[in-house]
Amino acid sequence: MIIDHSKINKLSDYLYEIPVTYRKAMRVPARIFATEALLKDIEQDRTLEQLLNMTTLPGIVGQALAMPDAHEGYGFPIGGVAAIIYPGGVVSPGGIGYDINCGVRLLKSQLEAKTIFTQIKRLADDLYQTIPAGVGEAGEFKLDKAGLDNVLRLGVTALVQQGYGEQQDQEYIESRGCLISADPRVASEIAKKRGLDQIGTLGAGNHFIEIDQIAEIYDESTAKAYGIFKNQITVLIHTGSRGLGHQVATDYIKIMMKVMPKYGINIPDRELVCAPIESPEGQNYLKAMAAAANFAWANRQMITHLTRQAWRRILGESGGELKILYDVAHNIAKIEEHEINGQKQSVLVHRKGATRAFPAGHPDIPEQYRSIGQPVIIPGSMGTASYILCGNAQSMRQTFGTVCHGAGRRMSRRAAIESISGQKLLADLEAKGITVKTDSIKGLAEEAPQAYTDVDQVVEVIHQAGLASKVAKLKPLAVIKG
Tell me which of 207, 238, 338, 405 is the catalytic residue. 405
Please check whether residue 226 is in contact with residue 388, taking contact to mean a CB–CB distance below 8 angstroms. yes
Nearest-angstrom CA–CA distance, 111 and 36: 41
Nearest-angstrom CA–CA distance, 91 and 84: 8
Q: Could you tell me which residues come within 8 angstroms of residue 62 by beta carbon, excluding any fewer than 6 positions away?
A: 28, 83, 338, 340, 341, 400
Active-site residue flag, 405: yes
CB atoms within 10 A of CB 144: 9
Strand ranges in 164-289 using DSSP code E only, listed in sequence order: 208-217, 232-239, 275-276
**Residue 327 pairs with which residues in a beta bridge?**
105, 173
Please check whether residue 246 is in contact with residue 98, taking contact to mean a CB–CB distance below 8 angstroms. yes
Which helix or strand (DSSP H or E) is residue 306 part of?
helix 280-315
Q: Could you tell me which residues come within 8 angstroms of residue 262 by beta carbon, excluding any fewer than 6 positions away?
A: none
Nearest-angstrom CA–CA distance, 432 and 452: 19
Closest CA to 63 of 87, 80, 88: 80
Q: Helix or strand or coil: residue 177?
A: helix
N-terminal to C-terminal alpha carbon distance within the chain: 35
Tell me the backbone φ, ψ of residue 62, rounded to 5 degrees.
75, -95
CB atoms within 10 A of CB 312: 14
Which helix or strand (DSSP H or E) is residue 425 part of?
helix 422-431
Please check whether residue 158 is in contact with residue 211, taking contact to mean a CB–CB distance below 8 angstroms. no
CB atoms within 10 A of CB 117: 13
Nearest-angstrom CA–CA distance, 197 and 45: 36
Identity of the residue numbered 340: I
Burial class (CB in 10 A: 0-12, 13-18, 19+), 250: middle
- Catalytic annotation, residues: 405
